[in-house]
Structure 1
């Protein structure tokens, strides 16, 4: 603790006598300065004990004392037995009026003795503060490595700073500490969400300091402390240590999670390269056995929260999971439900054919996303034919452009070219069956198909033309 005027007065070897301002002797003394100038304030910072023999008294005691009071000095040490036999009454009166302590320094006591006493006391106070900060940092570190370390760190911080302390999550919910002070903090928390910061403010008699926790720009929580007095520099160091330890506690799981994702991604690449035995050995040590073959590959796309739920389900089962591009990949023995996601499912495969199964799952997932359906299985995709592999928007543009002349013609009411073309192609270009299906004479059908060829500028005898027209009609349907 910084030495006070009272501590100096209580030292019998100094023989100091209080002549004014006895009620203010609790003021801390930051340093000792000696001056005989009529206005020494240009050389003062505040908090000093100013020593003088009073050569300036003739210039006016009241003005001199007023200047010292405005400069924030802790007190005036007046040396007697040299310029003045005793402290002048004018000095005592002026000091008493403004509450400035005046201490008489007898002639036998050299000013240097007072300077040494204060210097030693300041050094001792600084050493004590450093020692307390070191002990506090050790206690905080010890608490951080124990189970439920965030609670232990918060409690130790409160004890070491003699203050209340509370730890909050990013939403402002109490994780540890005194929840009774939450109302003092909620109004200020929105100011921190723009990024890491520190803030000190006064409220209800407490000086409150809040620090954001987290590495980089992402906020993991808030640490707040409050007490009636301002934190010292040593206290600030203790608070910084606590904030750093809590940040490490918050960031460690995220770092482990990121490393695990990278490891799983690497193992997946090894599986696709045929290193099944190596991956099986590593996976068994870390998570458990790989699913028994034959297996299916599932690729899932969708919201991050749904993907995380799928990961949680996979970790509670025998499935192997890994990130794959923007999707979640699962290798399973039996197909599993993944709510909230679009999922593509491969055919059963041995591990040696895993790369082929992955390609199947990719195609199935693309179809699931296009159709916005929960699950598409590759086997079903293949059964549905080539149309399921075509992007609906691109296919729609193709069909509309190719058939536009026929649609415009039919819209005039002058014929049924679209229906006639569909029936003719469905009957493999056979006129009589197609005409019968339409309920028209075959010559009428021939006339209509000639019109189709004319409007489209295509040769209907060409196999390529017939294939394109059939595809366009199926897509339009």
Structure 2
């Protein structure tokens, strides 16, 4: 720490006493500056002890108060006046202002040269600077020795020992603790964390029994370092900045590893749901992700109107130690994770309002993964149809009671009714399936359907005639209409046709 006014007073060689401002004796002094200017504030940076033989002090009370107020406003630490030299009598108003603002006014014996003050302060500053350099070197040396083989939590424990304070890395947005640190941080302490628009800042907080420094960490992931001391002091801001830089390196390394694991895991999950990996290979690779020999399930999430940002979920699963594979597949977020993991409440509270969630049955054999994927998609479609936040495949909430719950039966139903029409579209690059969907959606209204499809009415009439010829279904027959509509809903559920939402909202 830098030297204080009190410590200067306690130095017998400086032969000084207090005239006023006793409550400010713990002010830190960054420099001792002799000055006889009537307004020295243009040359001050804060923390200086101004030393004068009295030439600078005005004689009138009003001018003395103005002079003192300028020193106070410049964040000077105090004023030392040579005893028995050229200073006028100090007015009561001058001393009263010093007491009120806790601004120390010292009286120094004539035989003490001002250079003695300057040397004392300079020596204290050099010692402090030397201590800062040594401490900073120890921090970087510890990082160098541990970064390649120790976990973030192990490195933090070692940094704790060097600093003599507790260190916590906090997710800036969600205010949860990163890595596997001790979860003994009080909610009260977390409540002090405030978002700050500045890219880099240090904020000091004092509670009843602790000193807390909140330091932004320079990293791609928004994180905050909390440095908590129970011993009455915190490291200097210079050390805190270096410490935050070291923590930033730790966070960046962890994010690099995490992103690599996510990409590898995403590729594996896609291969599993598409059936492009053997069970034996999948078992070995799942074991690398902490998912080996576990009963698993697939969670599917989507939002029609809001893009699903899953970065926070990826971080949260990692920070809470839940093994997972996660990826976006055809606009739907897929998560493979151990069964009965408590993530659904988090998903519901943190996801956008329009997000819907479907959960598969258990995966107790890896060759069931593709089917579990379809179950999750099926449950997701049911959630969207019924306006529910979460639907489990095991629940009795099908999209329609007339659509089979089994995928094989559903595919057979869809192909029996729409197979020829789908083949025709593929071969001729036409849009008859889309036309059928829109036409039925608008209750066979020629005007509304033509407008939505952006085609002429006669073009629509021609397309409807072709649909009837190809499918063998009449679109003025209620039983035929019902079968076609159920087949379309089944095809949507199975992701065998695109979602025509854009066409019906034009």
Tell whether the 8 Å contact from 2:58 to 2:64 is kept in structure 1 after alignment. no
Which residue pairs with 1:67 in the alignment? 67
How far off is 1:338 after superposition? 0.7
1:54 aligns with 2:54: yes
Which residue pairs with 1:115 in the alignment? 118
Tell whether the 8 Å contact from 1:396 to 1:475 is kept in structure 2 after alignment. no
Which residue pairs with 1:224 in the alignment? 226
Which residue pairs with 1:125 in the alignment? 128
How far off is 1:125 after superposition? 1.9
Which residue pairs with 2:33 in the alignment? 33
Tell whether the 8 Å contact from 2:212 to 2:226 is kept in structure 1 after alignment. yes
1:1-40 paired onto structure 2 within 5 Å: 1-5=1-5, 15-21=13-19, 26-40=26-40
2:181 to 148, 162, 176: 176
Which residue pairs with 2:237 in the alignment? 233
1:136 to 126, 134, 139: 139
1:90 aligns with 2:89: yes
CA RMSD, Structure 1 to Structure 2 (Å): 5.9
Which residue pairs with 1:248 in the alignment? 252
Q: Distance in 1 between matches of 2:414 and 2:111?
A: 110
How far off is 1:242 after superposition? 5.2
Greater Cα radius of gyration, structure 1 or 2: 1
1:185 to 184, 190, 215: 190
1:48-103 CA-to-partner distances (Å, cap 9, x unmatched) read: 222333335673589548734761443444457xxx5x686935999876441222
1:442-465 CA-to-partner distances (Å, cap 9, x unmatched) read: xxxxxxxxxxxxxxx99xxxx998
How far off is 1:163 after superposition? 4.2
1:226-305 paired onto structure 2 within 5 Å: 226-227=228-229, 232-241=236-245, 243-248=247-252, 250-260=254-264, 302-303=300-301
Tell whether the 8 Å contact from 2:217 to 2:245 is kept in structure 1 after alignment. no
Change (3 A) 1:139 1:397: closer
1:116-151 CA-to-partner distances (Å, cap 9, x unmatched) read: 443343233223223223323444665665655236
Q: Distance in 1 between matches of 2:200 and 2:55?
A: 51
How far off is 1:249 after superposition? 5.6
Q: Distance in 2 between matches of 1:126 and 1:470?
A: 88
How far off is 1:237 after superposition? 1.0
2:377 to 321, 342, 353: 342
How far off is 1:30 after superposition? 1.3
Q: Secondary structure at the match of 1:252?
A: helix
Tell whether the 8 Å contact from 1:140 to 1:156 is kept in structure 2 after alignment. no
Which residue pairs with 1:424 in the alignment? none
1:376 aligns with 2:381: no
Q: Secondary structure at the match of 1:132?
A: helix
Change (3 A) 1:383 1:240: closer
1:100 to 94, 97, 105: 105
Tell whether the 8 Å contact from 1:31 to 1:118 is kept in structure 2 after alignment. yes
Q: With structure 2 as the length reference, what TM-score do the two structures score?
A: 0.50
How far off is 1:342 after superposition? 3.4
Tell whether the 8 Å contact from 1:16 to 1:105 is kept in structure 2 after alignment. no
Q: Distance in 1 between matches of 2:468 and 2:140?
A: 82
Q: Distance in 2 between matches of 1:372 and 1:138?
A: 66
Larger relative helix fraction: 1
How far off is 1:165 after superposition? 4.0
Which residue pairs with 1:150 in the alignment? 153
What is the total number of aligned residue pairs between the two structures?
Answer: 356
1:412-457 CA-to-partner distances (Å, cap 9, x unmatched) read: xxxxxxxxxxxxxxxxxxxxxxxxxxxxxxxxxxxxxxxxxxxxx9
Q: Distance in 1 between matches of 2:270 and 2:405?
A: 28
Any gaps of 5 or more consecutive residues in structure 1? Answer: 289-299, 313-319, 344-367, 406-456
